[in-house]
């Protein structure tokens, strides 16, 4: 699967991934997508989102490889959020990392399920 690039364009804006844990991303954005985003450059805001996993598929007669992307516009508010300040985005990022981690079953969860089956 092709990973989400560190700098990507969406909806006429340029976004730069500044932090990622698992499938949760914190990115900064600005409008001028034609120029590289220098470190410390002013930005319009920050986005936090859960990476979308796109399977391989066909688009017309082209095969599109499996890849990661940011959620679509219709998923914003459920899988992606925009913030004007970095501090607010970092709070949401930490909360979303914790939420996503709670969804992932651990090895101890699998062991407990096997023990329950053995007891039954």
Which tens digits make up the pLDDT trace of 58-100?
888 999 999 999 999 999 999 999 999 999 999 999 999 999 9
The reply to whether 2 falls in a domain is no
Q: Read off φ and ψ for residue 86, nearest 5 degrees.
A: -60, -40
Number of domains in the chain: 1
- With vertex at residue 26, the alpha carbon angle to CA 73 and CA 17, rounded to the nearest 5 degrees, is 95
Residue-level pLDDT at 14? 87
Question: What predicted TM-score, i.e. pTM, was given to this entire model?
Answer: 0.77
Residue 1 lies in a domain: no
Domain hosting 15: range is 7-119
Chain mean pLDDT for the chain: 85
Mean pLDDT of 39-46: 73
What average pLDDT does range 90-118 have in this prediction? 75
Residue 46 lies in a domain: yes
Please report the pLDDT score of residue 13 as a whole number.
86
């Amino acid at each position: 699967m092709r990973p989400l690039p560190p700098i990507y364009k969406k909806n006429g804006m340029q976004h730069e991934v500044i932090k990622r844990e698992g499938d949760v991303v914190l990115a900064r954005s600005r409008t001028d997508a034609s120029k590289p985003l220098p470190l410390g450059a002013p930005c319009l805001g920050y986005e936090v989102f859960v990476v979308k996993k796109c399977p391989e598929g066909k688009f017309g007669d082209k095969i599109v490889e499996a890849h990661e992307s940011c959620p679509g516009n219709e998923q914003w508010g459920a899988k992606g959020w925009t913030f004007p300040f970095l501090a607010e985005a970092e709070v949401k990022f930490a909360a979303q990392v914790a939420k996503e981690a709670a969804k992932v079953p651990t090895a101890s969860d699998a062991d407990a399920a096997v023990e329950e089956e053995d007891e039954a």
